[in-house]
Structure 1
Amino acid sequence: MSDSELSMTERVDDRAARPEASVDPAAVVALRNISKRYPGVLALSEVDFTLYPGTVHAISGENGAGKSTLSKVLSGLIQPDGGRIYVDSQPVTIATPSDARRLGISAVPQELSLVPDLSVAENIGVISLPSRGGFVSRRALREQAEPVLHSLGLTIDPLSRLADHSPGVQQLVMIGRSLVHKARVIILDEPTAALTEPEVEHLFAVVENERATGTAFVLVSHRFQDLTRLADTVTVLRDGRHVTTSPMAELSHDEMVRAMVGRTVERFVHDAQAVPADTAEAESKPSVPRLSVRSLSSAGKFDDISFEVNSGEIVGLGGLLGAGRTEVARAVFGVDNFSSGAVFIDGKKTRITNPRKAIRSGMMMVPEERKSQALVLDMSIRQNLTSSGTRLISRGGWLRPRKERDISVELIRELGIKATGPEVLVGTLSGGNQQKVVIGRCFLDDFSIYIFDEPTRGVDINAKFQIYRLINSLAKKGAGVLLISSELPELLAVADRILVMREGRLVAEMPADTATEEQILSSAMV
């Protein structure tokens, strides 16, 4: 895609009064001139989108580009301010998700709307539970769910509790709910974000099978490997505007990133662990690890975990979901208790019983679940950014509002958070921008140790590189960094060393510069 092609597309889409394009009768869904405005934000501006039966059409773009807004318009969760929606070339109104389902449109959101304590079958049929005499029939539930589970390649008991199954199975159950209602269009929002590599492969196989029957998929994803594996066509949005629609096979990684951000983005290049300038002095004074974990155990979660993180080093922690990675991090940071073992910070044994003590001891953590564990959604960006940095924004016990605002404005600028100002509520931001707010706290003070648990989940390609550079800058200043990630390319790109966990134990350690994805996955699964 050439410069002239990109600029031509943008000039066309920027016209104030664009005539409505025709609708191809072969399309199952077409959106024309869709616009949506929120206070202070133009989320969508006259966007067109066309979906054909038996295809996967991806929507991509930076965080805040309008991807989720467009998919919510199609699924009936929000109403556009302008434009039209066509199904089978006929204009329709989709005012609610029920309207969308009646038209054969179903959504599988990133944050799954499941009831863990109900059975698999109940979650599949929750919208219209089969009943007899006013009571839900377990036999009818099983009969409804079994063919759906078979089509999904799942050999699980339909009446088993959903919470007892992996995130990958739960993702497929959401898709199964769509199949029960004979959905012709299924919207997948970041479907692989919480899945292991084997679960991703299973999901891809299910999508391929359903596509062969004529089902159309809308794929919202930041993972380039997902797009190249599944998508026939990709539409790129930027700042709520259509940039390009192209066959996926014709876009390289760099072209895709450039279309998303409007410029060439420099790829992240990891700086290996810094070597002290005075090597002789460094050798005469052996450095003490920033973080040392010795024989840490917690019944039923992990056992006999020992590792070190040195100054200036990024240590990756890999493994399948459920291997115990997050549980170890939460215990080290004082969120959860551990039954035996010890934690040392800069050589000093430290008993951390809560996150506040961890922060006072020089440790900061970015947790896996930002919404439930890291943010207060009805508070402003400013309040969320500075909540753990009271030392910087107060003097003599008194808050310094101007200092707090100045720090917030600077962090918003440095992190590229898309918002009109520091008083914007965090809950109104896209997921990737919310993640940047959480990471922004790491720069309020010079901590000795940083723990990042899935720091780039749900974050676009450009923002990922920004976060990688931020993490690398912390290590270059002498901090020790523990990075937990399910993305193997991420571990290989960012870490100096990689540790692998399996079933609550550390089973492998390898230098990142010689490790391969196959080695990591093999250690995690054997």
Structure 2
Amino acid sequence: MNEAEPVIRFTDVSVTFTATRALDGVDFRLFPGEVHSLMGENGAGKSTLIKALTGVQPIHGGTIEMDGRPVSFSTPSAAQRAGISTVYQEVNLLPNLSVTENVMLGREPRTRIGGIDWRAAHERTRGLLATMRLDIDPRSMLADHSPAIQQLVAIARAIYVEARVLVLDEPTSSLDNDEVTELFRIIAGLKESGVAILFISHFLDQVYEISDRITVLRDGRLVGEYLTPDLLRIDLVQKMVGKDLPALATIRAHTSNSDVEGGLSDEEPLINAIGLGRRGAIEAFDLRVYEGEVVGIAGLLGSGRTELARLLSGIDRADGGELLIDGRAERLTNPRKAMQNRIAYASENRRTEGIIGDLSVRDNIALALQADMGWFRRIPRRRQDELAASYIQAMNIRPADPDALMGTLSGGNQQKVLLARWLAIAPRLLVLDEPTRGIDVGAKAEIQTLVSDLADNGLSVVFISAELEEVLRISHRIAILREKRKVADLENHDLTVARLLTIIAENSSDGDDD
């Protein structure tokens, strides 16, 4: 590992928003030919550091050097011209354009008369995708591909511009295990060619697999820089949160003491889906959810997890089967009908289907309640203030400012605000699709504990997560999906990740206990 000269060096860098110091005298080094992971809780300053590096956010103190020379990027374009490229968690491409147009945008090969040489552009894109083992038509529209493919196309664009510094912000959040393996192969090749890679992820296994070096931030300050082999995982977590985190270890025992006992109660289930399905989305499935029960949904990317959630919450309309609520047949033709039955859905795409970034925390919390009451019956400002203050305190939302714009909050705090929004309408069933994706260990523990406490107080929860350990930790019962079909429904007694993986991978539907 080259220690001679970092390609990027931050010295005593500070960034201030009004009265808040997002970065407070931070030092940071990024060397060529290494993968450097930036770790910290949501709100620790990771996003601000990235924005300062990539020309999105000016710094208010300290210096940034590239190759030993001070630099100041006033725009992202200036940073890109200097060789700094970024791939964000939320794919920042143009879905209405082709794959080639997205990869080549602004750098298209030209004909002799100055027009775009589309044949050459498609061939270059095809060759680039081939090096990434992506067999897709470069002429196809980006919108026609899955989020995972779109993420890989974003990385292909970054490779095409021959970046010297590549920032990968949660690049694996939409990828399955095989795609992660392929991405890591690509990263290894870039590292061999001398590219400096800044890797941000909340998956600790991935951080330890791919990283050479780790920098930890907390509350906008530098905790330390470490060689990955020298930093134990438990030490990393404690450095990130500033204390031990017993919460993650105790949630499982907390939920397992429920009276529901895996949903085998003699009582009428709150939700009883019988043969519910939608052609092309998910095959007909049965699913019961009892009062105070957390039902986990496990399966690989594309297995039908989100499609199931959208049927249960009226986002999509079922074309077969029936849904019983308290034993009564109900047709959830739209989300408003679901809300009338006190069913709330939190989408996995919180940026596009959840938060309204230009509204305040107060407005975002009150939004569902206002919609439930009707737009002609405005919630009094005093009531909105009470709601916001109550949930900000109860859910430890930071900053504790109801007037803060939602778009300025970290991912974990945005997720807490979304949960507060739905809790404000007093739901009976909360359908949570990847509620902890892309958030830090501390915020994840808080949300898992909150879900557990809500279930203890009678709220029913459908909990979807790609992390099988999380599903096991928090659920009373687990429904397993494979290839758009429910293949098992198991009480969470002595289940293991290995057992779940076996069921997900096997070719028969043995073990369907519903």
For normalisation by structure 2, the TM-score amounts to 0.90
Indicate conservation of the 8 Å contact 1:223/1:461, yes or no: no
Residue 322 (str. 1) matches residue 319 (str. 2) = no
Residues 492, 513 of structure 1: 8 Å contact kept: no
Q: Which runs of 4+ in 1 moved over 4 A?
A: 273-277, 390-394
Encode CA deviations 1:59-94: one digit per residue, 9 max, x unaligned.
Answer: 111111110111111112221122222111122222
Cα separation, 1, equivalents of 2:491 and 2:189: 39
Match of 2:59 in 1: 80
2:35 alignment partner in structure 1: 56
Other-structure match for 1:145: 125
Whether 2:196 is the aligned partner of 1:229: answer no
Is residue 213 of structure 1 aligned with residue 193 of structure 2?
A: yes
Structure 1 residues 218 and 335 mapped into 2: Cα distance closer, same or farther (>3 Å)? same
1:89 equivalent in structure 2? 68
Q: Say whether the 8 Å CA contact 1:119–1:160 is kept in structure 2.
A: yes
Which of 84, 105, 122 is the matching residue for 2:84?
105
246, 257, 269: which is aligned to 1:266?
Answer: 246
In terms of mean alpha carbon deviation, does 413-422 or 508-517 score higher? 508-517
Alignment partner of 1:448 out of 425, 428, 450: 428
Give the equivalent residue in structure 2 for 1:429: 409
The one of 242, 253, 259 aligned to 2:222: 242
Partners of 2:459 and 2:157 in 1: how far apart? Answer: 46
**CA distance, structure 2, for counterparts of residue 119 and residue 516 of structure 1:** 43
**In the alignment, which residue of structure 2 is the partner of 1:121?**
100
Contact 2:36 2:211 in 1 (8 A): yes
Per-residue Cα deviation, 1:349-381 (whole angstroms, up to 9, x for no partner): 222222222222122221212222222222211
Q: How many residues align?
A: 499
1:327 match: secondary structure: helix
Residue 174 (structure 2) pairs with residue 178 (structure 1): no
After TM superposition, the structure 1 stretch with the greater mean CA deviation from structure 2, 300-309 or 112-121, is: 112-121
Indicate the residue corresponding to 1:372 in structure 2: 352
1:343 aligns to what SS in structure 2?
A: strand
Supply the distance in 2 between the matched residues of 1:218 and 1:100 (Cα, whole angstroms): 15
Query: How far is the alpha carbon of 1:478 from its aligned partner?
Result: 2.1
Give me the whole-angstrom Cα distance separating, in 1, the residues matched to 2:400 and 2:425: 25
Match of 2:17 among 31, 35, 38: 38
Tell me the C-alpha RMSD between the 2 structures: 2.6
Aligned AA (2:303): A
Amino acid of the structure 1 residue aligned with 2:22: A
Counterparts of 1:157 and 1:383, CA distance in 2: 43
1:293-341 per-residue CA deviation (whole Å, 9 max, x = no partner) reads 1111212111212111122221111222222221221122112211121
Please state whether the residue corresponding to 1:143 is helix, strand or coil: helix
Within the candidate set 326, 338, 342, 1:358 is matched to 338
Instruction: Give 2:306's aligned amino acid.
Output: T
> Residue 32 of structure 1 aligns to a residue in which SS?
strand
Aligned-pair CA distance for 1:218: 0.3
Please tell me whether the aligned partners of residues 273 and 313 of structure 1 are also in contact (alpha carbons under 8 angstroms): no
2:292 counterpart letter in structure 1: G
Please, which of 463, 471, 485 is the counterpart of residue 483 of structure 1?
463
| Cα distance in 2 for residues equivalent to 1:123 and 1:218 | 22
Q: Distance in 2 between matches of 1:296 and 1:460?
A: 35
Instruction: For 1:423 and 1:350, locate their aligned partners in 2 and report how far apart those are by CA, in whole Å.
Output: 39
* SS of aligned partner of 1:191: coil
Q: Could you say which residue in structure 1 is the equivalent of 2:512?
A: none
- Return 5+ residue gaps in structure 1 as ranges: 1-23
Alignment-derived partner of residue 308 in structure 1: 288
% identical aligned pairs: 38
Q: Does 1:349 align with 2:329?
A: yes
User: Within 5 A, what are the aligned runs for 1:182-193?
Assistant: 182-193=162-173
Q: Mean alpha-carbon deviation: is it higher for 320-329 or for 65-74?
A: 320-329
Letter in 2 for 1:73: A
The structural deviation recorded for 1:274 is 4.6
Aligned equivalents of 2:495 and 2:95: distance in 1? 37
Q: 1:67 aligns with which of 29, 41, 46?
A: 46
Instruction: Choose which of 489, 494, 509 in structure 2 pairs with 1:509.
Output: 489
Report the Cα offset of residue 190 of structure 1.
Answer: 0.8
Distance 1:353 1:155, change over 3 A: closer
1:176 Cα deviation from its structure 2 partner? 1.4
TM-score normalised to structure 1 length: 0.88
How much has 1:470 moved relative to structure 2?
0.7
